[in-house]
Structure formats: structure tokens, C-alpha cells
Amino acid sequence: MRSGRLLPGGAGDLRGVLLHRLGGVRPGRPPLAAGPVPRRAQDDVWGEDPDTRVSSSCAPVGRLTPVEGGYELSGRWSFSSGCEHAGWALLGAIVVGAQGRPVDFLTVLVPRRDYRIEDVWDVVGLRGTASNDILVESVFVPAHRVLRNYEQAQLKGPGQQANRGPLHRLPFGTVFTSAITAPVVGAVSGGYASYVSLMKERVRLSLGGGRFAEDPFAQVAIARAASDIDATVLQMDRNVREMYELASAGRDIPMELRLRARRDQVRGTERAVEAIDLLFKTAGGNSLRRGNPIERAWRDAHAGSVHVANDVERALAMYGRGAFGLTVEDNLV
């Protein structure tokens, strides 16, 4: 997607830009989410089949109890997109100490045989993600399949010693949150293209009649929406490109850039939702019909906007803290 040229490819538009910047994820190369885990754990997942898929649900809602050689894990995780197609799951959990209090936050790798999936995905938007629940009951997790969230945020995961490429030097928080916003922007981009195509030949039956395309208010709506989509893509592409260039050169990625990427990512989601709201509002009653591409883009964009990665005020406050020189500690930066 380039400035001034909006492509009708839906979520694939911005995702393609991001994958290009990130160098792609090819067979045999661990995806960024699992890249920081120890090499032995990576071999468990991809040793026999380099195309094995891994789903995730990173919120630390599970309970880990230390046992000999590892941990015992129990819990229920929601929103694990595509889990039915995955052979493993990355799950967030809290380590519980002797007094029953949290002592650490970890992410653990669990094979498909150790958990069950409950089909609960009955939602108004993003229905195709099949983001069902994962349930684990008293399962042993060996120590080598565990990653401390703090290490991941500091780009010091043990697996990064084995994966030396620039992809694995990028902050997980940046890639994860950008991958959440990309489909939202892509859906809105597709909705925009459908809007222009459908409304170009429309003739009004009210408000004095006439061709919709001649309405200056509709023309302004298109301009505003297109500008918001382009601004989002340009900012996100710039941030990821600069990070990738630093990583390729073996240089540290400054916190200022990480915070800027987080700022622009949440603003990107916000802009995308504002753009599709504007188009939906001006499209008229026909956009209410189920199956209408404008209606679908509106539902999907709003559904994606409620993801924790799109908590706009919290992310913008972190940027403000950093700008004032205050310490920022967050796993999604």
C-alpha cells in the first residue's frame, strides 16, 4: 500500500508491508513469538515438521506451580486465534510461590495433546479468526519450554542466541501490536475500496436525488478516510523499517523508537475505526444489510479495536511518560 493509492486487498495489504519489512516467516524459521524460547524448545516444536503452527494467548491467566524439572500448569485462556490449526500453544501464566502469591510472569509452550479447545467464538466481528478458548488441567511443563516475560521484553530470551537474524532482534511488543492493528487497517482499506466502488454509481432516492458521487459531503468523507488510512500505513511502515535497519546493523533499538511505534500503532487503529465509522455513516441504509462489505468492515474494525493491544489511552500515556523522561516498563513496548 502506498500513499495516495489504496489497494482492495483487505487485511493482506498492510500485513504484506509488515512481512516485507520483517523479512517474512519461512519454513524452518521460528516465528518471533516463539523465537526467544530455548533452542531445545524450538526443536520440540519444529524438529520434525518445520511447518508446525503455534497459536497463542499471552495474558498471564494461567497458574504455574514449581515442581521438579519444571512446572505444573492449569488454566483457561481466551482469544487464541486459529488454535484449531495449531500443534502447540504459547500461553501466559503466573508463577505462584509458597505463600500463594505471584512471584513471576512466564510464557510457556504446550503441545496440542496437553490441552483441549472449547468452541466459544460466537461474536459480532472477526468471526473468521475462530479465537476459541484453551483449557489446561494440571499439565507438566518442562523448564526448557518456559520463557520469562521480562527477558522477552529486554530482547534477552535464550532462543535469541540461536536465532541471530534481525527478525529476532525486534521488540516482541512492536511486532505483536503491529500485527493486531494491521488486519484492522486492512479491513478498513478493503471497506474503503468497496465504498468507492459501490457508491460511485449510486443514485439517491432522497435528499433531492442526484448521483451520490456528486455530493460534496461524500467527497469529503472519502478524502478524510483515505487520509487516515494512508497516515496509519506510512507511520507504521516507517517505524518497523527503522527498527529493522537498526537490527540488521546489530545496533540497539532505543526506547524512544519503541514508544513511538506503540503510539502510532494505537493511533493507527483509532484512525482506522474513525475512517470506517465515517464511511458507514454516509453509505446509507443499504450498508446495514448483512453481507454488505461496508458493514462487514465496520464490524471487523470495531471488533479488532477492543484487543488489549489497542488500549489507546494507556499506550499514549506510556509515550507521554517516556517523553517526560520517566521510566516505562511494559511487555507491549
SS3 (DSSP) at 190: helix
For residue 138, how many other CB atoms are within 10 A of its CB? Answer: 10
Angstrom CA distances, 154 to 104, 243, 270, 289, 329, stand at 15, 15, 28, 48, 10
Burial class (CB in 10 A: 0-12, 13-18, 19+), 249: exposed
C-alpha cell belonging to residue 152: 522477552
Task: Please indicate, yes or no, whether the overall pTM of this predicted structure exceeds 0.75.
Answer: yes
Angle between helices 172-200 and 12-22 (to 10 degrees): 150
89-131 confidence digits (pLDDT tens)? 999 999 987 777 888 999 999 999 999 999 999 999 999 999 9
- Each residue's pLDDT tens digit, 169-200: 899 899 999 999 999 999 999 999 999 998 88
